[in-house]
Amino acid sequence: MRLSVILPSLMAMIFGAAISAAQDRVAGRLTIYAATSLTDVFEEVGAAFVDAHPDSDILLNFANSATLAAQIAAGAPADLFASANELQMDHVIESGRVDDSAVEIFAHNRLTVIVPADNPGDVQTVADLTKKAVLLVLAAEGTPIRAYTDAMLASYDAEYGENFSERVLRNLVSEESNVRQVVARVALGEADAGVVYQSDALGDVADQLLTISIDDRHNQVASYPIAMLNDTGAQDLALAFILFLRSDEAQSIMAINGFCWPVILNDVQPTLARSEPNVAGTDTGVTQAIECDAATSETR
């Protein structure tokens, strides 16, 4: 029926509606708290889910995962939590609102350096982030993307000198509350470079940005866990959404938006088969999943 994005001021007003007992005809309202980096893809996946379940409504609340985890732990009314890393999901598990057994990884992502299309800082490689006068913008400490970024920079210390990451951070001029704000600052030319998820460099901002690759041995694979809250009033609807994430349709949407293979495969780790993502369509019209090639698949 409809897909809505809720503002933080409205979160307290959300209450899950009753759902039907029949799994093949789920109905009601589903409130999903999701990491900022999932904004575009979850809006698309949510719309596709509503098309498949026309008696359902989805309310999407996006913020950085740490903020969402704190809100949920404090009792915020959510049915599903989708985090950009496992650490924030662990915090929600510790609060007692999610069972560890209910958590599954539904997508992966990896990092890229972005610069404005005209590249005023002449940033060609990760090493150039140490250049004097380069204006660097990153997400704030405590956010998943910053944890992944710090791990990536530290991994270059052995190659570029043990203080490489420190020298990069000397150029840090702004710390943003979420990854989309990093993208916006760079796309608007307010900074010379930023580090974001590869999915964030796609879409409407793609023509305003250039991407600088990060070597596979240094890159980080972000894991996205999702879980139903124990006290949800929309259990059937929440389970149906998680099941929908496993569908060919949802996996195609994830791939188009830059998220990596495997999707909903907890027992399969990213491979090192190739260094560049492949998002070409198959003969059936379903987009191929993207393999995530990187040094690690977890930052907790």
Bridge-based pairing state of the strands 104-116 and 209-212: antiparallel
Instruction: Look at strands 28-35 and 209-212 and give their pairing.
Output: unpaired
pLDDT reported for residue 203: 81
Q: Which residues of 131-162 are buried (b: 16+ CB within 10 A; e: fewer)?
A: beebbbbbbbeebbbbbbbbbbbebbeeebee
Q: How far apart are CA 6 and CA 72, in angstroms?
A: 15
Per-residue pLDDT tens over the stretch 251-284: 999 999 999 855 433 333 333 222 232 222 223 2
Pairing of strands 136-139, 193-197: parallel
Q: pTM score, two decimals?
A: 0.77
The pLDDT tens digits of the residues spanning 193-239 come to 999 999 999 988 899 999 999 999 999 999 999 999 999 999 999 99
Phi/psi of residue 269, each to 5°?
Answer: -95, 155
Helix ranges (H only) for the chain are 39-52, 65-73, 86-95, 144-155, 157-160, 164-169, 179-187, 235-245, 248-256
DSSP annotation of 21 reads: S
